[in-house]
Structure 1
Amino acid sequence: MSAALIFSPVDGYTDLSTIGEALSPLDGRYRPVVHALSNYLSEAALNRARIHVEIEWLIHLLDTQALPGAPTLTDAERDYLRALPRAFGATHIQRLAEIEAETRHDVKAVEYLIGEYMREATKVLGDSTHLPELTEVVHIFCTSEDINNLAYALTIRSAVTNEWLPAAARLTDRLVELVDAGAHTPMLARTHGQPATPVTIGKEIAVIHHRLTRQIHRIEQTEYLGKINGATGTWAAHVISVPEANWPAITRNFVEKLGLTWNPFTTQIESHDWQAELYSDIARFNRIAHNLATDCWSYISLGYFHQNLSAQGSTGSSTMPHKVNPIRFENAEANFEISCALCDSLAATLVTSRLQRDLTDSTTQRNIGVALGHSALAIDNLVRGLRGIDIDAQRMSDDLDTQWAVLGEAVQQAMRAAAIAGATGMANPYERLKELTRGHEVSAESMRDFISGLGLPDAVEARLLALSPHTYIGLSETIAQWVHEDTLS
């Protein structure tokens, strides 16, 4: 390659890394949409959760008198300890970084930070406090994964409950609005891309709504597991140090006090199976929503959906001013695909750990926020895209006017039913309709002439003659209304 073609800071361009430009688009261009996830799934949020778990473990041990000879905490001491994770901020983040630079261990750095905080308790609580003497209780009987698995369970649960699920609900709420708006609007269906039995657009959106709602229901039922049973899951250090304590009961109570489900069957790590299940469900939600995005793109292309330019917040094409590009739906597609790739990787990787422990999950879990962030970004774009469209009933009606051939199915099946009921002259209905419709323009007149010449029973003939592509929608209108019923209970 010619030296003149190299694009590099060393060739005279500004080194953007020196001004802190974000490498990830989630922390740069798209941060305004997904920044709230940082409260739960950033490195700082993980450390805050670790501190919370460590302090609650210390309080739990002392409150349950699991450690013979240890003092009982006062209310003021409990409040002082719990103030640390509540106030956790920039100063603590910087101090943790300094400690970790020495320890080369992130959880050990958390332990030491808490120890420093406890040794300073006399400044607030006076000389009578026992906290400076209790630093050895911090992280007692714990391996790092005892703290990590609980911290991740708490932060993931909070992120899903407080951010991801509300975003998903905004999507399904908008779909209900579109279902209601289009419940009675007939539309030519397309199977294999070809004209097919008509539906209403409301019914089609109701199908997607139901699919997404089922996945939301699964995600809402996620079981967040946790453990705190030592280096290889046997409570070995616990029972050798304090053999008279009922450690399974003590630790179960602690895990359940955190609002998690206790898992007593572990190696050094909690197996992460619940995480794999969650990410698989989110990926499935993503793929269904991706299907919605691509269908909306197609409906816009067909003219069935009209885009409101001001609602889309877009100037359209950079060179063709007549265009309103469906960018929200395209952006949603791309971000759902990225999220799915990460969710699939998380689900596949986290269920495996060599023997009793390896560290592959450590790096993997640091990408949970990225996976959920791209999903949240995609959902946001999809919702904004859906809020910027109107249903063009006239365009759909115009298409139906040209597709009388779709009534061939209705006529064929009515002939079959009539034959079973005893009518004569109903033989070979499929072949007769194929001859009429396949490869031929079928008008209202030719279809009605064909129906009139079949010799159908009068009631059947009258029913078919009254039919049109606009009214051959079956129970579409009823199906659309089912979105207002609790079909999942």
Structure 2
Amino acid sequence: MARMQSLADATPPIALGALDGRYRPVIAPLVDHLSEPALNRMRTHVEVEWLIHLTEHEVVPGVRRLSAQEQTALREVVETFGPDEIEEIAATEKVTQHDVKAVEYFLKARLQQIAPAEEDRGLAELIHFCCTSEDINNLSYALMVKGAVDQVWLSAARDLVGQLADMADDLREVPLLAHTHGQPATPTTMGKELAVLAHRLGRQLRRVAGAEYLGKLNGATGTYGAHLAAVPDADWQQVSRTFVEHLGLTWNPLTTQIESHDWQAELYADIARFNRVLHNLCTDIWSYISLGYFAQVRGQGSVGSSTMPHKVNPIRFENAEANLEVSNALLDVLATTLVQSRLQRDLTDSSMQRNIGTALGHSLLALDNVRRGLAGLDAAPEAMAADLDANWEVLGEPVQSAMRALGARGVPRMEAPYERLKELTRGRRIGQSELVDFVRGLGLPPEVQERLATLTPATYVGLAPTLVDHLARSGGVERTEDPTGVGPA
């Protein structure tokens, strides 16, 4: 075979991964939070706020406060952080071979423009004052992950759960033949089954929404050694706590060089659990489609199979399954790895945390696929009704249960109700006439006989429609607008 032209030389560069290539439009909102430039922007933010905090609280004696105009100008460096700043920091890092130091030098240069007076030159020494890189990084990652989860992931997840809850409400009365162990079982309603999944997902969302994001600023080994040596009279624990809380984080008072990342492990476990419940939803919906309980609305110009024109494949749910599995693999390794650190510090966490965006990206992509998949479904009550009508044997349960209740009250001829129904129904298909004849031959009290004789698989759904209401009473979920847009599978 002739040598092929290298695609690595193409302009603009071709993405290696699917998230930054095929699926870029879906996961793009995460770029503002979890990309490498986003990390440098957040480092700049933390460094700016640390400088302002030190001067505002006069922590270092003899250093003047920054004026309101200077504080605004420094914060504008963060707010206007864009391609030029990204390029400048990258160029500096090629020289320093250290990412956090490059941010420090970048900000010192900006401060010289904001406060150019000769007597203000010493202010630059308070940028990154008494900080180890991890002081800046742990706070930056906490803020980045918090922003990504609160502003992007949770928003998409709540929309999905709201959409599912709407479907559950719409289908609350539609009877459905249940399948336990893959076998016909006590009927339910489609709405109730969807409500179970919405309830499970909503519970995990409340856990994720309540996550605690920890941060620390206490030096090279968590002892405030440099802080105390530089300014021995300052209450450094109080300075650290108020700074971390000013950023909107929870202060961790006891660490090594690194913040221990336990909060990350807890958060990723909760998101992974949400993903696993969502995976369960995908496999159930896939099965309902296979059984004909849902028809897929054909999109304009969509192709189900390249060779079989009749097919509309459940690609959204299959795509979501794959992405949920990738997301969970990453979330699991993040959770197990980040809580480990050799002695006071190793750099495993530094490399590992660069995969947070990918982990959340695959989950976000799955959420998008499930939403669009659900939006493309039409319930097929007639198919559900046909399966119910073909399985009258499922009414063996209510008949034998009524017989047992009467037998417990001493009504004669109610011996061995389970065994008698087992003989009638196991391994056999029965219809309405066989069941009604059996019921009328039992010698039941008239009102019980009439109730059981008029029961059908479609009406034997218990409280299923009412149970859907628990979605609202258990804290509810946010409702969603109809999803729009078409993207690749």
Q: Is TM-score (shorter-chain normalized) higher than 0.5?
A: yes
Superimposed CA distance per residue, residues 242-270 of structure 1 (whole angstroms, 9 cap, x where no aligned partner): 11100000110000011100000111011
In 2, Cα distance between equivalents of 1:131 and 1:250? 23
Task: Write out aligned runs for 1:90-489 (5 A).
Answer: 90-121=83-114, 127-128=116-117, 131-310=120-299, 314-487=302-475
Indicate yes or no: 2:5 matched with 1:14.
Answer: yes
In 2, Cα distance between equivalents of 1:41 and 1:160? 10
**How far is the alpha carbon of 1:407 from its aligned partner?**
0.3
Superimposed CA distance per residue, residues 336-376 of structure 1 (whole angstroms, 9 cap, x where no aligned partner): 11001000011110111011111100011000000000000
Return closer, same or farther for 1:129/1:337 CA change in 2, 3 Å cut-off. farther
Aligned to 1:7: none
**How far is the alpha carbon of 1:459 from its aligned partner?**
2.2
In 1, Cα distance between equivalents of 2:186 and 2:336? 41
Superimposed CA distance per residue, residues 272-292 of structure 1 (whole angstroms, 9 cap, x where no aligned partner): 000000000000000100110
**SS of the residue 2:469 aligns to:** helix
Aligned to 1:77: 70
**8 Å contact 1:77–1:131 — kept in the other structure?**
no
**How far is the alpha carbon of 1:168 from its aligned partner?**
0.3
Aligned to 2:483: none
Moved more, 83-92 or 281-290: 83-92
In 1, Cα distance between equivalents of 2:129 and 2:327? 38
**SS of the residue 2:60 aligns to:** coil
Return closer, same or farther for 1:129/1:282 CA change in 2, 3 Å cut-off. farther
**SS of the residue 2:363 aligns to:** helix
Superimposed CA distance per residue, residues 210-234 of structure 1 (whole angstroms, 9 cap, x where no aligned partner): 0000000000000000000111111
In 2, Cα distance between equivalents of 1:451 and 1:152? 67
**SS of the residue 1:390 aligns to:** strand
In 1, Cα distance between equivalents of 2:77 and 2:475? 45
In 1, Cα distance between equivalents of 2:7 and 2:27? 23
**SS of the residue 2:187 aligns to:** strand
Task: Write out aligned runs for 1:32-111 (5 A).
Answer: 32-111=25-104
Q: Which has the higher contact order (CA 8 A, sep 6+)?
A: 2
Amino acid at match of 2:232: P
Q: Which runs of 5+ in 1 are unaligned?
A: 5-10
**How far is the alpha carbon of 1:137 from its aligned partner?**
0.7
In 1, Cα distance between equivalents of 2:362 and 2:303? 24
Superimposed CA distance per residue, residues 454-479 of structure 1 (whole angstroms, 9 cap, x where no aligned partner): 22222222211121000000100101
**How far is the alpha carbon of 1:132 from its aligned partner?**
3.7
Superimposed CA distance per residue, residues 146-165 of structure 1 (whole angstroms, 9 cap, x where no aligned partner): 00000000010000010000
Superimposed CA distance per residue, residues 6-40 of structure 1 (whole angstroms, 9 cap, x where no aligned partner): xxxxx521211112110111000000001110000
Superimposed CA distance per residue, residues 23-81 of structure 1 (whole angstroms, 9 cap, x where no aligned partner): 11100000000111000000000110000000100100000000011111111111111
Return closer, same or farther for 1:130/1:321 CA change in 2, 3 Å cut-off. farther
Return closer, same or farther for 1:130/1:44 CA change in 2, 3 Å cut-off. farther
**How far is the alpha carbon of 1:131 from its aligned partner?**
5.0
**How far is the alpha carbon of 1:487 from its aligned partner?**
4.2
**8 Å contact 1:199–1:474 — kept in the other structure?**
yes
In 1, Cα distance between equivalents of 2:411 and 2:15? 75
Amino acid at match of 1:374: H
Number of aligned residue pairs: 475
**8 Å contact 1:335–1:375 — kept in the other structure?**
yes
In 1, Cα distance between equivalents of 2:153 and 2:256? 30
Identical positions, percent: 56
Moved more, 266-275 or 425-434: 425-434
Stretches (4+) displaced over 6 A? none
In 2, Cα distance between equivalents of 1:235 and 1:454? 84
| TM-score normalised by structure 1 residue count | 0.95
Amino acid at match of 2:244: V
**How far is the alpha carbon of 1:486 from its aligned partner?**
3.4
In 2, Cα distance between equivalents of 1:441 and 1:16? 62
In 1, Cα distance between equivalents of 2:152 and 2:247? 20
**How far is the alpha carbon of 1:412 from its aligned partner?**
1.2
Tell me how large the CA RMSD over aligned residues is.
Answer: 1.4
**How far is the alpha carbon of 1:129 from its aligned partner?**
7.9
**How far is the alpha carbon of 1:377 from its aligned partner?**
0.2
In 1, Cα distance between equivalents of 2:413 and 2:102? 87
In 2, Cα distance between equivalents of 1:296 and 1:221? 29
**8 Å contact 1:71–1:130 — kept in the other structure?**
no
